[in-house]
């Protein structure tokens, strides 16, 4: 927040700090969005549903809720394996660890030159599951693309940008 306030005009932007699945703010909006896989930070289906309901409660009629999220590449999993490399170089080793029962995905990142290790746990959700969450929140799917350039969404897509409209 301090970095935002330091920018020109940053002091005029209202800021609320809280859990994006449950925190309320005053007013309604024409657009709400959760991008860059942030939805995965909500690590239970219940929390993800709460996020959709919260977004829907903040949207005006015909307002849009946009989510950008990756799709797990389960077809890359060797039979019986749940630990899959996605980046292997001298600078960065990256492995995804899947929990197929809980729809969990933990990304492990190791940077040998820095001796730094990071892990990011999350919960993936299928587009059809997100569509149901949207319906529970009073929204319907308006558009879905494979990326921000509105590429067609196909079975080969590894990410999607979905747009739901509040009824």
Q: CATH number of the domain that 112 lies in? A: 2.20.25
Mean pLDDT within 149-158: 96
Query: Distance from CA of residue 79 to its chain's centroid?
Result: 27
pTM confidence score: 0.91
9 and 61 inside one domain:
yes
114 and 62 inside one domain:
no
Q: State residue 73's pLDDT score.
A: 83
31 and 108 inside one domain:
no
Count of residues in the chain: 167
* 50 neighbors 123 (Cβ within 8 angstroms): no
146: tokens are 């494979």
Mean pLDDT of the chain: 95
| Residues with Cβ within 8 Å of residue 53, at least 6 apart in sequence | 136, 137
CA distance 107 to 84: 10
Over residues 90-125, the pLDDT tens digits come to: 999 999 999 999 999 999 999 999 999 999 999 999
CA distance 105 to 78: 16
Antiparallel, parallel or unpaired: β 29-34 and 59-70? parallel
Structural domain containing residue 30:
2-71+125-166
Q: State residue 132's pLDDT score.
A: 98
Q: CATH number of the domain that 157 lies in? A: 3.40.50.150
Categorize the per-residue pLDDT at 3 as very low, low, confident or very high, splitting at 50, 70 and 90.
very high
**pLDDT of 154 higher than 90:** yes
Over residues 18-76, the pLDDT tens digits come to: 999 999 999 999 999 999 999 999 999 999 999 999 999 999 999 999 999 999 988 77
92 and 162 inside one domain:
no
């Amino acid at each position: 927040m301090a970095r935002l306030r330091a920018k020109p005009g940053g002091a005029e932007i209202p800021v609320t700090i809280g859990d994006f699945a449950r925190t309320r703010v005053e007013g309604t909006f024409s657009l709400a969005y959760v991008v860059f896989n942030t939805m995965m930070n909500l690590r239970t289906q219940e929390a993800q549903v709460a996020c959709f309901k919260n977004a829907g409660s903040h949207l005006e009629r015909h307002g849009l809720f946009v989510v950008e999220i990756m799709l797990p590449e389960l077809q890359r999993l060797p039979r019986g394996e749940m630990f899959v490399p996605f980046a292997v170089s001298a600078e960065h080793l990256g492995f995804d660890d899947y929990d197929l029962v809980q729809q969990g995905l933990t990304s492990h990142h190791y940077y040998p030159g820095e001796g730094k290790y990071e892990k990011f746990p999350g919960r993936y959700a299928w587009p059809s599951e997100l569509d149901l969450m949207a319906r529970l929140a009073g929204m319907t799917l308006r558009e879905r693309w494979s990326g921000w350039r509105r590429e067609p969404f196909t079975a080969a897509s590894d990410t999607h940008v979905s747009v739901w409209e509040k009824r």
